[in-house]
Structure 1
């Protein structure tokens, strides 16, 4: 005597097929199943980064600092200097003051992009939706880098145009100076934020990762300033040459040191350090529990 098959729920478009030797039929879902890819992860991360208030507030403060301080410095310089004093000055260089403070906002946002999910436990949902962990980190990196670069480039370009208009006596920057003072510095700031994102993924703690990145930006220069011993002169000069503030000033052909990086070298240094950190973060992400 055959065992009667239990009644199965019906769904629109669903198909039930008999399985030989089994009292239960197989089920074919009416919902199309397609393999996911990096584009799906990027869309998800874009939704996250634009839907949280911290992104708008952090980027808003960044724009305020970069544009506000950049223009304020230019106004003060124009009011207290004559045309002869500005004859050899690169007018784009006055934007570095706002960028140095604004970089703290990009660092904070980069850390929060990854570390905040560990703090709230949302990372479990993220990894369940996309088990390929390297893809998740790559999607976060791509979305954040594009956002940071776009906002930085728009802010820096606005300050550069305003400084050109305010500082009539300053010389006209060359094409390479324009390229470095807008595109180059924007790429460097975006990479600095991307490195913060990676450190946040490694540390998994927002406050700890932000502290590490702020220390990376400020500590070398501060330590170098207080090294008075002649025996430490080589270390002092190295810290001074490769400090973040000095590398930022290189993009405006106004480096604080003659022996440190020059031209586009700070950007290549940032690319190398960020790439190495990203590889390490992916390796740790694969080995750790969520």
Structure 2
């Protein structure tokens, strides 16, 4: 009776062997680099410019801002009497278009984060970039720059045409030009950035958009129905700090005599957005995707 032979151990093919003396000069054909925020920004830029919702949302935004801004100025110019516009700031007629257009920026800000949770693509994003904070920061940087540039171009175009359409109105000062173009563009972009943070926290597009639209409209609407004298202080505060009133401050046409003035709305928006982003970062690190 023969003794069973133990099979000899199989050795890995030469090409699967670990680097060693047999391959002293082996170099991987795939470059290995340390990833950084720039890579995440490049990825998010590819995303935001390749989806249809971005083009549609920004297209509607430009249409509202430019269309309503120019139509308002043209209507006023056609119906204003002699000397009626002597004290008016012609830049202020861009307010109505920007107020409605801000809804588009809010929507796009929410979709920038929440839509990935809806489709499940956020898992792929986090696998490609395990640093969750870096992903949220990259989304914020890309969105803010896109929203700011589009808003600034639209606001400057409306401002220049409105000044030309209303020659009887007074000439805006340098500070009014700065607030009515750069200042209001920063404010709208920060409002969109706040929406992005809320979308990251809520993780649901419809819910986050509803919250943000409520934040824009609810304080002003609620204040309109506060008739009791005991609620006068609360009513005044809601008027003063409502987003429509803060937006009007950039055109020196505040809806109230007290409350934010100058550049105050921008600092308020910056503080609220920073707090929202801190909360979004914290939750993103603690929750599962």
TM-score of the aligned structures, taking structure 2 as reference length: 0.94
Aligned twin of 2:13:
7
One of 17, 20, 36 as aligned partner of 2:19: 17
Aligned twin of 1:115:
114
What SS class does the counterpart of residue 258 from structure 2 fall into? coil
Aligned twin of 1:80:
79
| 1:166-217 Cα distance to aligned partner (Å, 9 max, x none) | 0010000000000000000000000000000000000000000000000000
Q: Is the 8 A contact 1:82 1:169 kept in 2?
A: no
Aligned twin of 1:63:
62
* Aligned equivalents of 1:234, 1:140: Cα separation in 2: 39
Q: CA deviation at 1:271?
A: 0.3
* Aligned equivalents of 1:8, 1:203: Cα separation in 2: 53
Q: CA deviation at 1:6?
A: 2.4
Q: CA deviation at 1:30?
A: 3.1
Aligned twin of 2:3:
none
Aligned twin of 2:31:
32
* Aligned equivalents of 1:160, 1:6: Cα separation in 2: 73
| 1:79-123 Cα distance to aligned partner (Å, 9 max, x none) | 110241000000000000000100000000000000000000000
What SS class does the counterpart of residue 86 from structure 2 fall into? coil
TM-score of the aligned structures, taking structure 1 as reference length: 0.93
Matched, 1:202 2:204: no
Go from structure 1 to structure 2 and tell me whether the alpha carbon gap of 1:28 and 1:289 turns closer, same or farther (over 3 Å shift): farther
Q: Is the 8 A contact 1:92 1:181 kept in 2?
A: yes
Q: Is the 8 A contact 1:70 1:95 kept in 2?
A: yes
Matched, 1:212 2:218: no
Matched, 1:183 2:185: no
Matched, 1:41 2:40: yes
Aligned twin of 2:4:
none
| 1:125-159 Cα distance to aligned partner (Å, 9 max, x none) | 00000010000000000000000000000000000
* Aligned equivalents of 1:17, 1:176: Cα separation in 2: 66
What SS class does the counterpart of residue 275 from structure 2 fall into? helix
Matched, 1:286 2:288: no
In structure 1, stretches of 5+ residues that fail to align are 20-26
Matched, 1:98 2:100: no
Q: Is the 8 A contact 1:242 1:261 kept in 2?
A: yes
Q: CA deviation at 1:32?
A: 1.9
Aligned twin of 1:276:
275
* Aligned equivalents of 2:29, 2:68: Cα separation in 1: 58
- Give the 5 Å matches for 1:231-246: 231-246=230-245
Aligned twin of 1:144:
143
What SS class does the counterpart of residue 17 from structure 1 fall into? coil
| 1:233-289 Cα distance to aligned partner (Å, 9 max, x none) | 000000000000000000000100011100000000000000011011000000000
Q: CA deviation at 1:31?
A: 1.5
What SS class does the counterpart of residue 32 from structure 1 fall into? coil
* Aligned equivalents of 1:220, 1:132: Cα separation in 2: 37
User: How well do the aligned residues superpose, as a CA RMSD in angstroms?
Assistant: 1.6
